[in-house]
């Protein structure tokens, strides 16, 4: 039996070494190592031997099988190298130093990231610093410390993504304000930038979007400081434009306001304008003076400390800046749209 094994081993080596191509090499592999291969058949015959002979022959067969597999792998690598050399020696010869025939399409900064960077750089110039916080939050930071009552609609499962209460995906970047104020005493001047999550999806809303919030806390901060900051930010993004502040309600600010900017499409005319729905104004965010209850939650004295906060959806600002009419196109990764930026 050993002589038969050695004969098969020598035949396999010879055929493997002379295999002219991968197809023939695979045929040889099946002939010797396949389910009905010669070496496989010999392994099946071991059961008919005595235990001592089975152990001896098994060791020899396994070694021959392993050697054959390694020999096939080496020949496979060698054939691949030969094929590459054959391609390189074809006429006309291939000059690897020549530039490629096809243009390489480089990526660009996503329009949302571009607008975020513009906002951050503009506000950094007037003293703001960027603060961050977790996207997986607790109800305390997302609602309770922000003076949001238990029966507020925003706390419903229809609006907020709960993981396992009180754990949720943050619905705004305001929790960063709470964490920052708890960690330091006034003055505070920060930007909270990042992804937020809400259960909504249509032409102007997505379940995940980006938000930027500003917070300034110190002595004698007034509504005039808030308005001046927003006029400055809007001018940095769109040029000097009229703004209007409509009274509104947010649990964490008092007084509160929605901020509208004069439509950049119709210049406030409003006639047949789709962007502003013929009103002459487009909403860009919300703002207000920090509510005393928020200061109490973070350990500030509301009789001494004052401050303002504002927030904007970056996708909304991006749509206005670049004239994009469908928010969903910002998330579809269509290079034909993105390469315009």
> Buried (b) or exposed (e) across 246-281, using 16+ Cβ within 10 A?
eeeebbbbeebbbbbbbbbebebebeebebbeeebb
For residue 99, tell me if it sits in a domain. Answer: no
Residue 101 lies in a domain: no
Give yes or no: residues 78 and 158 share one domain: no
Closest CA to 259 of 271, 238, 273, 135: 238
Residue 223 is assigned to a structural domain of this protein: yes
According to the model, what pLDDT value does residue 91 have? 60
Contact 245, 231 (CB under 8 A): no
Provide the pairing of β-strand 167-169 with 162-164: antiparallel
Identify the pLDDT of residue 289: 98
CATH number of the structural domain spanning residue 177: 3.30.930.10
pLDDT digits (tens, 9 = 90+) for 196-246: 999 877 666 789 999 999 999 999 999 999 999 999 999 999 999 999 999
> 70 and 116 share a domain?
no
Write out the H or E segment, with its range, that includes residue 255. strand 253-262
Domain membership of residue 53 (yes or no) is yes
- Domain membership flag for residue 327: yes
Are residues 154 and 302 both part of a single domain? yes
**Does residue 96 belong to any structural domain of this protein?**
no
From the list 103, 191, 176, 105, the residue with the least C-alpha distance to 137 is: 176
> Are 7 and 126 part of one and the same domain?
no
Which pLDDT score, from 0 to 100, does residue 291 have?
Answer: 98
Is the domain of 185 the same as that of 332? yes
Q: What is the pLDDT of residues 96-123, one digit of tens each?
A: 777 777 777 777 889 999 999 999 999 9
133 and 44 in a single domain? The answer is no
Give residue 94's pLDDT.
65
Residue 53 has a pLDDT of 84
What count of other Cβ atoms lies within 10 Å of the Cβ of residue 111?
21
What was the pLDDT predicted at 93?
65
- Greatest alpha-carbon span in the chain: 101
Residue ranges of the chain with pLDDT lower than 70?
91-94, 202-204
Query: What is the torsion angle, in degrees rounded to the nearest 10, for the CA atoms of residue 303, residue 191, residue 195 and residue 299?
Result: -30
Same domain, 74 and 151: no
CB atoms within 10 A of CB 188: 21
Give how many domains the chain has, as a whole number: 2
- Same domain, yes or no: 70 and 216: no
Residues 30 and 115 in one domain: no
Q: Please check whether residues 83 and 118 belong to one and the same domain.
A: no
pTM of the model: 0.69
What range defines the domain where residue 69 resides? 2-88
Q: Do 215 and 319 fall into the same domain?
A: yes
Give the C-alpha separation, 118 to 129, whole Å. Answer: 14
């Amino acid at each position: 039996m050993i002589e038969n094994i050695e004969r098969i081993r020598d035949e396999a080596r010879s055929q493997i070494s002379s295999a002219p191509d991968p197809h023939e090499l695979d045929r040889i592999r099946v002939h010797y190592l396949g389910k009905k291969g010669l070496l496989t058949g010999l392994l099946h015959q071991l059961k008919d031997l005595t235990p001592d002979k089975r152990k001896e022959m098994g060791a020899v067969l396994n070694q021959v099988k392993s050697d054959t597999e390694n020999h096939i792998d080496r020949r496979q690598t060698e054939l691949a190298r030969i094929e590459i050399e054959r391609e390189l020696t074809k006429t006309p010869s291939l000059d690897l130093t020549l530039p490629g025939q096809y243009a390489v399409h480089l990526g660009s900064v996503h329009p949302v990231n571009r607008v975020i960077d513009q906002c951050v750089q503009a506000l950094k110039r007037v003293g703001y610093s960027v603060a961050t916080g977790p996207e997986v939050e607790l109800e305390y930071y997302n609602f309770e410390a922000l003076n949001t009552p238990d029966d507020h609609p925003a706390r419903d499962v229809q609006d907020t993504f709960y993981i396992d209460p009180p754990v949720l995906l943050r619905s705004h970047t305001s929790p960063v304000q709470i964490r920052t104020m708890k960690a330091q005493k006034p003055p505070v001047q920060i930007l909270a930038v990042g992804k937020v999550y809400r259960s909504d999806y249509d032409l102007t809303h997505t379940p995940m979007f980006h938000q930027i919030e500003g917070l300034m806390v110190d002595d004698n901060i007034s509504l005039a400081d808030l308005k001046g900051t927003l006029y400055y930010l809007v001018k940095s993004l769109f040029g000097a434009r009229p703004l209007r502040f409509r009274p509104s309600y947010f649990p964490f600010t008092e007084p509160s306001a929605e901020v509208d900017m004069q439509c950049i499409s119709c210049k406030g005319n409003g006639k047949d304008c789709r962007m502003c729905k013929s009103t002459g104004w487009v909403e860009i965010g919300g703002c207000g003076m920090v509510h005393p209850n928020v200061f109490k939650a973070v350990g500030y004295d509301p009789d001494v400390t004052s401050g303002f906060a504002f927030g904007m959806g970056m996708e909304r600002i991006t749509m206005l800046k670049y004239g994009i009419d469908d928010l969903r196109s910002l998330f579809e990764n269509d290079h034909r749209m993105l390469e315009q930026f």
